[in-house]
Chain A
Amino acid sequence: MRVTVIDYKAGNLTSVLKALRHLGAETIVTDGDLALVESAERIVLPGVGHFAATERLDATGLTGAIRAAIARGVPFLGICVGMQWLYTGSSEAPEQPGLGHFPEKCAHFAESTEKVPHVGWNSLEVKKGSRLLAGVEAGEYVYFTHSYRGPVTSDTAAITHYIEPFAAAVERDNVMGVQFHPEKSGATGLKILRNFLSWEAKGTE
């Protein structure tokens, strides 16, 4: 089981790589070798930090290569900023477009007396039929740390409540994203990563 992990110099890859390897995956890291994306079996786009860092994906040509891989049906998982990038953009860096796979935009949490960033363990309301979150029961917690969030839409795979309901996970066919950090979410997080690693296109086996 081979996973291509995209390095766009936004934060730290170590934890994601460690969790994928723990689950038996062979990890290949690329910061711009498009051939590694063209031959990818699965792609993970991690990312902590600022949305503006995704500019590097455009500059290196990775955006186009990822778009083509997604069109070929390669399973794709975006984590945190990597999930936000799947939308058309984020108010964190209005000039920087996202991939636009999902037509909405990400935005800062609404004004509130609650602390922002949203840091800590929160629960998920999983939508029936989510393949990424299969086996995640009500009352299981995952670890979040973020100030921007995606809206709840028909592509939302799980909702979390903090200040307002937001998309904790998004999923449409082979394209998946999680706002939380599965690599830091204990047994629940590892279960979700395992679901991603065993994701097969329906009807092609």
Chain B
Amino acid sequence: MITKRIIACLDVHGGRVVKGVQFVDLVDAGDPATQAARHAREGADEIVLLDITATHEGRQTLLDTVRRTARELFVPFCVGGGIRTADDAAQVFEAGADKVSVNSAALKNPALIDAIGRSFGAQAVVVAIDARRDPKAADPVRDAEVFVQGGRKPTGRRVVEWAREAEQRGAGEILLTSMDSDGMRTGFDCELTAAVSESVGIPVIASGGAGMVEHFVDVFGRGKADAALAASIFHFGVSSARSLKEELAKAGVSVRLPC
């Protein structure tokens, strides 16, 4: 039976893991390679590394970080942040990533999704969507808007419609982050996650807001997520992926155990 994935997410900045609330107030949370290895050892089903301040100068640092992190990692490894061209993606794959996640660059140039998919396969392209509910809209969930630049800039695009286009262009998965919930530890945006998951035929990874086990039970049930990203819940020794999955199994969620 297919299991629900628990994905450990490492936000990196200048070669270090950081954690902030709603993308600001960053706190140092360790070395990426060490953290990734620990998460894999402690039962994470996958590792995502997001370079949250990807700059031109930072590219080489990122590639070194990816290479070092991938070296002894034998679970799926996705890297995002600053991937603007198929060549950028090729370098990240060469450094050891299995998937890349594209966000702003894909919105600016949607053909980027097709280009990476053609060279590396759809399974290697994750389209990351930073979403914010639109409280003024008739349907704040269905009309949720796509944001870029770490959630700072609205794009005027609707989340569900963009997710569908990404799928048509050959994305293998959608990584949906609720900017409203991110870092708040108050739970995933299950309504938004379900709206996207029901609109596409590819897996949806829910992100933003995990604070306790019940939040995961909720997003796998009501939220119809295929996988969920966890960052802050792990960083400061709150919990391991294994203990989270043991609790999920008790709640009737199918997870990879033992792991």
Closest partner residue, chain B, to A139 (CB atom)? B258
Give the dominant DSSP class at B's interface. Answer: loop
Contact with B along A138-165 (1 / 0, CB 8 A): 0101010111000000000000011000
A126 to chain B: closest CB distance in Å? 16
Contact A15 B98 (CB under 8 A): yes
Contact residues, A113-138 vs B (CB, 8 A) = 115-123
Chain A nearest CB: distance from B125 CB in Å?
11
| B143 proximal to A (CB < 8 A) | no
**Are B121 and A50 in contact, with the CB atoms below 8 A?**
yes
- Chain B 79-97: CB-based contact to A (< 8 A → 1; otherwise 0): 0000000000000011111
Which residues of chain B have C-beta atoms less than 8 A from A189's C-beta? 74
Check A39 for interface membership: any CB of B closer than 8 A: no
Residue in A115, A183, A190 with the greatest tally of chain B CB atoms within 10 Å: A115
Chain B residue contacts of A12, Cβ below 8 A:
93-94, 97-98, 120, 124
Do A184 and B256 touch across chains, with their CB atoms under 8 A apart?
no
B90 — nearest CB in chain A belongs to which residue? A12
CB distance B71 to A115 under 8 Å? no
| Contacts A11-B124, A48-B121, A184-B76 given; does A162 touch B202 at CB 8 Å | no
- Inside 8 A of B40's CB, which chain A residues have their CB? 186
Chain B residues contacting A22 (CB-CB under 8 Å) are 72, 74
Query: Do residues B5 and A48 form an inter-chain contact, with CB atoms below 8 A?
Result: no
A interface residues, how many (CB within 8 angstroms): 36
Interface residue SS majority, chain A: mixed
Q: Which of B2, B77, B259 contacts A118 (CB 8 A)?
A: B2
Q: Which residues of B60-113 have CB atoms within 8 Å of chain A's CB atoms?
A: 70-72, 74-77, 93-98
B2 to A120, Cβ gap below 8 A? yes
Specify which chain A residues have a CB less than 8 angstroms from the CB of B227 in the assembled complex: 120
Judge whether A14 is part of the interface by a CB distance below 8 angstroms: yes
Cα-based distance from A120 to B173 in the complex (angstroms)? 11
Query: Hey, which chain A residues are within 8 Å of B71, CB to CB?
Result: 18
- A48 engages B120 (CB within 8 Å): yes
Is there an interface contact between B98 and A184, defined as CB atoms closer than 8 Å? yes
**Is B123 part of the binding interface, using a Cβ–Cβ cutoff of 8 Å?**
yes
Minimum CB–CB distance for B258 against chain A, Å: 8
A146 to B122, CA, bound (A): 9
1/0 per residue, CB under 8 A from A, across B1-32: the answer is 11111000000000000000000000000000
| Residue pair A11, B3 in contact (C-beta under 8 Å) | no
Query: Given A115-B203, A115-B226, do A121 and B74 touch, yes or no (CB 8 Å)?
Result: no
Closest to A161 in B: B1
Residues from chain A with Cβ under 8 Å of B70 in the complex: 14-15, 18
Q: Given A48, A120, A141, A190, which contacts B124 in the complex, CB threshold below 8 Å?
A: A48
Beta-carbon contact of A49 and B121 below 8 Å: yes
Let me know if A185 is at the binding interface, CB within 8 A: yes
12 contacts between A and B (CB under 8 A): A12-B98, A14-B93, A50-B121, A117-B172, A119-B123, A119-B203, A120-B45, A121-B3, A122-B1, A143-B76, A162-B2, A183-B74
15 more A-B residue pairs beyond the given contacts A11-B93, A11-B119, A145-B123, with a C-beta to C-beta distance below 8 A = A12-B97, A19-B74, A22-B74, A115-B203, A115-B226, A116-B201, A117-B122, A117-B172, A119-B173, A120-B3, A120-B5, A141-B259, A143-B45, A145-B172, A185-B75
Closest 5 CB pairs of A and B: A49-B121, A145-B123, A12-B93, A121-B256, A48-B121
